[in-house]
Structure 1
Amino acid sequence: MSRKKGLSVEEKRNRMMEFFYEKKDFFQLKELEKQCQKEKGITSMSVKEILTSLVDDGMLDTDKIGTCVYFWAFPSKASQNRKRKIDDLSQKIEESKKKQKSVTEMVAKAKVGREENEERSEVLSMLRKREDEKKQLLAELERYKECDPEVLEEMKQETKIAKEAANRWTDNVFSIKSWIKQKFAFEESVIDKQFGIPETFDYLD
């Protein structure tokens, strides 16, 4: 008989936030350990760890009154925090797009009548780094999108734009590979190996 799979950290975080939003009240640690296990299936031993992570992320408020420590969270503040976080991430994506545009211009200059050199390799390395940064930002945006239905449609549009940008960069890489093949008669496998381009490199669906 297979053992029942436990909740992941993210699932515990989401369930605990649901608990606070539903109760709209103040709780001490001992109360949370009992009620979250009973109502949300979060083991009492992991409640303190989850509380700490949510407080560190600014999703929960906490304060000490006398000798008692209380925790609370209300939907209105959570929505404001997520909106602020989304705005910050959107700004980072915009900055990433600007950096990518600069790299595109550098790639275009490197293609004009030049033989293979270190500068071109550095440009392609920068390109891959920017793509990785963008994927990480999009992944974090996806996480916040799931927490706030109010910005769901906005985040879908951001994801679409980022996806189109990524595919344009894929076009650029393919164009460079084509130019190298025509200019130097290299095999595609040789080019991929030289620039560290994986076999799975392709457009995003």
Structure 2
Amino acid sequence: MSKKKGLSLEEKRSRMMEIFFETKDVFQLKDIEKIAPKSKGITPMSVKEVLQSLVDDNMVDTERVGTSNYYWAFPSKALHARKCRLEELERQHEDGNQRKKALQQAVDKAKVGREVNEERENLLKELTALKQQRDQLKAELEKYKECDPEVVEEIQSPAISRE
């Protein structure tokens, strides 16, 4: 004796959409609450919640007429929504391809003049040597900074103003 497992929300949603697509009719909430448990096995307590989630996701249309709410969803609307989504995704794909081509052209353009050759290698070595020399000179300058007359004057001027 195994316990009967309930339906997941997605299963309930798909079964609820089947009701709309099979009947191609307009329903009130009370009609759906009667039909869904009998024909699709959706528990009566969750029918309203499932229906509201479908309305929130624009899969089911709703309209208030007088004091009643009417719900409907036709297969043509679902097909149209999928076509629109497909067109949007295809457009995004095409935009992505164009960006990729533009970036590849920029990379190719940037590579021009950067081909590996002896002159370039020599210039890069010289640049590295000059950077090292600059760093050494900066370190030496820091070492002698204490003896700089401007720095000595800066250090003494606040001491004079304190007195």
TM-score over 0.5 for the pair: yes
TM-score per shorter chain, which class?
0.5 to 0.7
**Distance between the aligned counterparts of 2:90 and 2:2, measured in 1?**
43
**Are the equivalent residues in 2 in contact too, given 1:37–1:43 (CA < 8 A)?**
yes
For structure 1, list consecutive stretches of 5 or more residues without a partner in the other structure. 115-205
The corresponding residue for 1:69 is 69
Following superposition, the deviation at residue 9 of structure 1 comes to 2.2
User: Do structure 1's residue 37 and structure 2's residue 37 form an aligned pair?
Assistant: yes
Structure 1 residues 99, 5: CA separation in 2 closer, same or farther (over 3 Å shift)?
farther
Answering whether residue 78 of structure 2 is matched by residue 78 of structure 1, we say: yes
Pairwise mapping of residues 153-164 of structure 1 onto structure 2 (< 5 A)? none
| TM-score normalised over the length of structure 2 | 0.56
Match of 2:121 in 1: none
Indicate how the Cα distance of structure 1 residues 4 and 83 shifts in structure 2: closer, same or farther if over 3 A, else same: same
Q: Which residue of 2 aligns with 1:58?
A: 58
The runs of 5 or more residues in structure 2 that have no matched partner are 117-163
Q: Which residue of 2 aligns with 1:10?
A: 10
CA root-mean-square deviation: 2.7
* Structure with bigger gyration radius: 2
Q: Equivalent pairs: percent with the same residue?
A: 53
Distance change >3 Å, CA 101–CA 31, structure 1 → 2: same
Q: Within 5 A, what are the aligned runs for 1:95-174? A: 95-101=95-101
2:131 match: none
Q: Secondary structure at the match of 2:6?
A: coil
Classify 1:101/1:41 alpha carbon distance in 2 versus 1 (closer, same or farther; 3 Å).
Answer: farther
The answer to whether the Cα contact below 8 Å between 1:58 and 1:81 also exists between their aligned partners in 2 is no
- Normalised to the residue count of structure 1, the TM-score between the two structures is 0.46
Is the contact between residue 12 and residue 42 of structure 1 (CA under 8 Å) also seen in structure 2? Answer: yes
Amino acid at match of 1:49: E
**Correspondence for 2:93:** 93
Q: Partner amino acid for 1:46?
A: S
Specify the code of the residue in structure 2 equivalent to 1:13. Answer: R
What displacement does 1:76 show?
Answer: 1.8
Aligned residues: 113
Shift of 1:17: 1.0
